[in-house]
Amino acid sequence: MGRLKLQSGIKAIEEEPEDYDMTYSNKATLACMINSEIGAVLAVMRRNVRCGGRYMSSDDQLEHSLIQSLKALRKQIFLWQNQWHNINPAAYLQPFLDVIKSEETGAPITGVALSSVHKILTLDVIDQNTANVEEAMLLVVDSVTSCRFEVTDQASEEVVLMKILHVLLACMKSKASVMLSNQHVCTIVNTCFRIVHQAEKKAELLQRIARHTMHELVRCIFSHLLNVENTKHALVNRSGTAKLELGAIDNDYAFGAKQAENGNGSEYDDQASSGSFASNSVGLVGTVREESMAVAGNGKETVPYDSLLMTEPYGVPCMVEIFHFLCTLLNTVEHVGMDPRSNTLTFDEDVPLFALGLINSAIELGGPSFRRHPRLLSLIQDELFRNLMQFGLSMSPLILSMVCSIVLNLYHHLRTELKLQLEAFFSCVILRLAQGKYGASYQQQEVAMEALVDFCRQKTFMVEMYANLDCDITCRNVFEDLANLLSKSAFPVNCPLSAMHILALDGLIAVIQGMAERIGNGSVSSEQAPVILEEYLPFWMVKCDNYADPVHWVPFVRRRKYIKRRLMIGADHFNRDPKKGLEFLQGTHLLPDKLDPQSVACFFRYTAGLDKNLVGDFLGNHDEFCVQVLHEFAGTFDFQDMNLDTALRLFLETFRLPGESQKIQRVLEAFSERYYEQSPQILANKDAALLLSYSLIMLNTDQHNVQVKKKMTEEDFIRNNRHINGGNDLPRDFLSELYRSICKNEIRTTPEQGFGYPEMTPSRWIDLMHKSKKTAPFIVADSRAYLDHDMFAIMSGPTIAAISVVFDHAEHDVYQTCIDGFLAVAKISACHHLEDVLDDLVVSLCKFTTLLNPSSVEEPVLAFGDDAKARMATVTVFTIANRYGDYIRTGWRNILDCILRLHKLGLLPARVASDAADESELSADPGHGKPITNSLSSAHLQSIGTPRRSSGLMGRFSQLLSLDTEEPRSQPTEQQLAAHQRTLQTIQKCHIDSIFTESKFLQAESLLQLARALIWAAGRPQKGSSSPEDEDTAVFCLELLIAITLNNRDRIVLLWQGVYEHIANIVQSTVMPCALVEKAVFGLLRICQRLLPYKENLADELLRSLQLVLKLDARVADAYCEQITQEVSRLVKANATHIRSQMGWRTITSLLSITARHPEASEAGFDALLFIMSDGAHLLPANYVLCIDAARQFAESRVGQAERSVRALDLMSGSVDCLARWTREAKEAMGEDDAGKMSQDIGDLWLRLVQGLRKVCLDQREEVRNHALLSLQKCLTGVDGIHISHGLWLQCFDLVIFTMLDDLLEIAQGHQKDYRNMEGTLILATKLLSKVFLQLLHELSQLTTFCKLWLGVLSRMEKYMKVKVRGKKSEKLQELVLELLKNILLVMKTRGILMQRSALGGDSLWELTWLHVNNIAPSLQSEVFPDQGPELKHGETGCAVSGETVSVPSNETTTLEGAGAGS
């Protein structure tokens, strides 16, 4: 038997038990309960008998029929054998119901009987499966609503009325209530409402209970709407059933306004011996309908329901009747002459409040189900909303509050059906009241603002307002207006902060936080392309393919908004010059290139903000095009089923009627034509419409112009309009209604200009209902951020300003709200890439940190610690910088200003300027001089509020705790210590160091702006001295700049130019050593050290930057030379393999060369050079000449020991091995041509090497000089691996050997005291000449220029023979020269180079040799050629001795050659 049951009333019965008696122990239990109720009723009846009741005239008379039926039931109940649900409930309810209906019973008896029925209904005995339940339920309702009783006293009467309410509510809450018909539900509500009305004259308790019951009934009935099918019977339109009566009209009981006149609703007075509570009256379905027909503003009858439908189980029909009745309650208040906007004292707010409360309950429980039932929905769309608009402007805050609650519920459940109604409500009620204009009281303002904030807290409300209204050309910009209202209302203008300001701020922040929450849900539209109209398309025809799919509707609404904005700009142009305005719109493709009447008409019709005077002049113009526009303009109106005066009002609201009669004629002709076309009604033709329209205009002027003294009467008006309807008269009633309408409500021929908030007039409401049928579907937004970018761009500026002003004026409890708002704004700005908004926010927040204020307080640190607002703002600024730094641009300047201020106060953590990769390096190596600390110079300390001894947070704190011995200070108070502690905690929360250490994650543009801000904050360096404070700032900024440069090595290209220029400015403008230039130079070196391994493509750029060091002022360079050299040395050792180009090496070797003559720096410089050149480790063709040159400078340098010069020479001579290696590698790796070219290049390098050594051979120090000669000799003789051309050797003799010999000779003869032991040097030089000449003799003797070279050797020998060292000839040297010369001659003889070839004087070599040799030592010829007599000398052949000459054995030759180079 267990089966699902229908939901009835408020309780949803999940399942029915198998057996009803499971609820009770047995059938007897129920029988006992009913028996006890019978006993209770009988007892009261008997008491009444004893008291002289009317039931017995004598003892023997039979008992009264009521008592008999009760007794009969008593006998019966214990005999019933069936299950209770098989018994007809009427059997056990009838006796009680008879008592209730009886006129003879008194109030006490009726009350007890009602209690019994209530008890039985609440026992759950009766449900929809009980036998004959429908009959029983109808019987109960009929009986209770027809209750009769004798009134004895007011108290007992009130008890009966209260019990009637209980029973009726129990009927509706019973499981069996689903069996009630529509008619009976209406009767129940009808009865309850009459009791509510009657209770106004009774005790407070009954009033409360009656109203509560009415609420419960409405809740019960409308909660059933969810289960009601959308039946085909929902609307019935039959001509035969215009009115329905649900029963006999026993008394003419009336509702609504008429009730107030009716006195006692139960038709009894104090004297009445008997009274009836009610008849089976007309009820809702009859009387209410009659009234509503009389009252309804649109003059149309509601379609009644079929009588058959009203007898079916209750559903939509009774709900329509009840809802309509509730709306009529509001109407009657209006029509009875009580103006809802009049003074609260004269207006009873009770009835509308009660009605609105019931309506709210119905909507809360019916919810979205209303949408399924067109009649219910149309009641809400038209009648209810029209009343809400009226009562929304009520002076009563209670009514306004209830109206707003209803609209919020309607928004939740039915917003898709109420687009224009919601627009009207916000424009005509909320925006009017919340602004405090139009005479609204402060209370009204507050309620309206509270309602608006409630709406703002709905996550999608603002998005939907924007998408549906702001982006619709025919609607107002409600989102924009509401956002502006909130931001303006949050501004305290010349007044302290009030609850209203905070309320508006809450609304504003709710909107912003809604946007911030949507960011995580995808579809952030920052990448959306801007809307571009490429060709003309009628803007009023733009449609969307699918209003439910964001893929379609998002671009559609953005396009519509773009069009709307352009139209507004066009309107602005039009108001200044109509022609230019139209041209502008043609240029933006909103009007066609060739204007057509329809497009111009639609521009006039749908564009807000047009000057209505200009529109009127244009439309009234006689020009043919203007006339066509006028007719098209009239064609845009929908006058279907509209009264003539209403239509005329709407038409004339859109422009100002021109003053000239001809123009008026043209305008009214166009109007009449359109009106007659759509609503002919009783008009015969359009001329009738024209004449009547004219007549209405004239009547309007007559009635409402103060200058007209004698006003037109109704009769005059009717008389004036005779025979205008195609020769016939118009109905008198029709004309009277028009007359009264115009008299009561003026047609404004000068409509309101601009963007004010209009009042909702009846004609506007009718127009709104017409438009709502044609308006675009309502777009429902989801939780994704489709339009937030566009919306936020509109409201961001006012929002930041409003939150800032409140934050400025607020007390402590509002701070967090403002901070939440700031953070939400930052999140949205960053997410939607609105960098300028984020910059504005940062600028605004930085002002609140107080860090940018000129420090007027004595103890800025303590003041900051005591200022909660400043601390919160500071944390927020740095939170934004850390979280959303990617999108900060110019705001970095303000953030840096705050950081610099904290730095000056000594509040920054010690390592803010460090870069992440730097930690280990600096801690392990404190090598480069003293580190630059944050602290200022001692001269500057006294100028800051609190002097500092150490930097960093803990230093700052410990300093407060210490006592200054020089300037005795009082021990800090607990408050001061607490303030300090708060300051320190704030700075720690800021994580300022993260901005720089995490800068590697910043977007490129933001990083660039941060670097520029640092350079800007550092200021331009000035020549001469700057103040210590400025220098400290510049040093700190430079530290930060270097830190972010090192942290962004992968993006160094982005930063390098700015960083380099900044450092160059510092270097070039500094003339004295100082911390700034030290930081600049060493920062530059560190950048190069750290980046060279990673950025080989930038190596040249980086190394070229080091040339700045060469441009240092001499004093500055001298001060830092040693440290610079150490850094360069470190750089070379770490990165030698990464330096490839000649340009890079030139910079390095230039820096090293300079150090050669610096006492402190030369050691480190030479160390670096040693690293490069030892074993040719890092020598390259690109750097060879540069390194040789640097080594030569070290060799020549007299700084340090001669030993270093010797080592430098060894480096030079050792480099020959490199040249040999490169030659070998070239042969192996390259082709013949390339190898030839390479060997030629290597030969050039070798020449540069020996030229370098030649210069050192002239050194004053004997040890160096002599070592240089030996090194040169090694380089000249140890060149087996290097291919050196003959030409190069000749160059070498000319440029190196001969030049060196000549120079040494000159020095020796110059008697220079600085040169000691020149004799030894000359001996070495002579040996070098001899050795090299003999080694190359074979190759050189083949050359045509050999003779010249040989003469050069002889001439040097000759000079060296005759040289005087310190004024006297050197015997050693003479002996050596002779020996060497003899040896050379012998070798030449042995090789066959020197021999007499011809007696004819043609052998110049022979001749010239002996010419010179004889000058040196005449005896040598005979020694070398002993067998050749003197007689042969002049021209005789040497044949005789030729054999002997040749006979010198080869081993002797070798010996002689060796002797030539001997020591």
Which residues participate in catalysis according to the annotation? Answer: 660
**Residue bearing tokens 């290696």:** 1221
Cβ of 920: how many Cβ atoms within 10 Å?
Answer: 8
Instruction: State how far the Cα of 1 lies from the Cα of 18, in Å rounded to an integer.
Output: 5
Q: Max alpha carbon distance in the chain (Å)? A: 209
Instruction: State how far the Cα of 1205 lies from the Cα of 536, in Å rounded to an integer.
Output: 88
Instruction: State how far the Cα of 629 lies from the Cα of 632, in Å rounded to an integer.
Output: 5
Helical (H) or strand (E) element with 1365: strand 1364-1365
Structure tokens at 715: 């009769």
Instruction: For CA atoms 1312, 1314, 1319, 1322, give the dihedral sign.
Output: negative
CA atoms within 13 A on the CB side of 1328: 30
Cross-strand partners of 875: none
**SS3 (DSSP) at 1183:** coil
Cross-strand partners of 725: 728
Supply φ then ψ for residue 986, to 5 degrees: -60, -50
Instruction: State how far the Cα of 1131 lies from the Cα of 1099, in Å rounded to an integer.
Output: 12
The residue among 570, 640, 638, 565 whose CA lies nearest residue 600 is 570
**Residue 469 DSSP one-character state:** I
**SS3 (DSSP) at 1369:** strand
One DSSP character per residue, 812-837 reads HHHHHHHHHHHHHHHHHHHHTT-HHH
**Residue bearing tokens 């009023």:** 540
Query: Residue 454: which residues within 8 A CB-CB, separation 6 or more?
Result: 404, 408
Structure tokens at 740: 């009264």
The residue among 803, 781, 267, 766 whose CA lies nearest residue 507 is 803
Cβ of 917: how many Cβ atoms within 10 Å?
Answer: 14
Q: Residues of 830-850 as b/e, b for ≥16 C-beta within 10 angstroms?
A: bbbebbebbbbbbbbbbebbb
Report the Cα 829 to chain-centroid distance in Å: 2
Instruction: For CA atoms 1338, 1344, 1349, 1351, give the dihedral sign.
Output: positive
Instruction: State how far the Cα of 391 lies from the Cα of 780, in Å rounded to an integer.
Output: 28
Instruction: State how far the Cα of 186 lies from the Cα of 138, in Å rounded to an integer.
Output: 12
One DSSP character per residue, 497-563 reads --HHHHHHHHHHHHHHHHHHHHGGGS--GGGPPPP---S---GGG---S-TT-HHHHHHHHHHHHHH
Contact of 349 with 396, CB cutoff 8 Å? yes
Classify residue 779 by burial, with Cβ atoms within 10 Å: 0-12, 13-18, 19+: buried
Instruction: State how far the Cα of 393 lies from the Cα of 425, in Å rounded to an integer.
Output: 10
Instruction: State how far the Cα of 130 lies from the Cα of 118, in Å rounded to an integer.
Output: 17
Instruction: State how far the Cα of 1371 lies from the Cα of 1356, in Å rounded to an integer.
Output: 17
Cross-strand partners of 181: 313
- Residue 337 φ/ψ region, left for φ over 0, alpha for ψ in the -120 to 50 degree band, beta for the rest: left
Structure tokens at 587: 């240029």
Query: Residue 1266: which residues within 8 A CB-CB, separation 6 or more?
Result: 1320, 1321, 1324
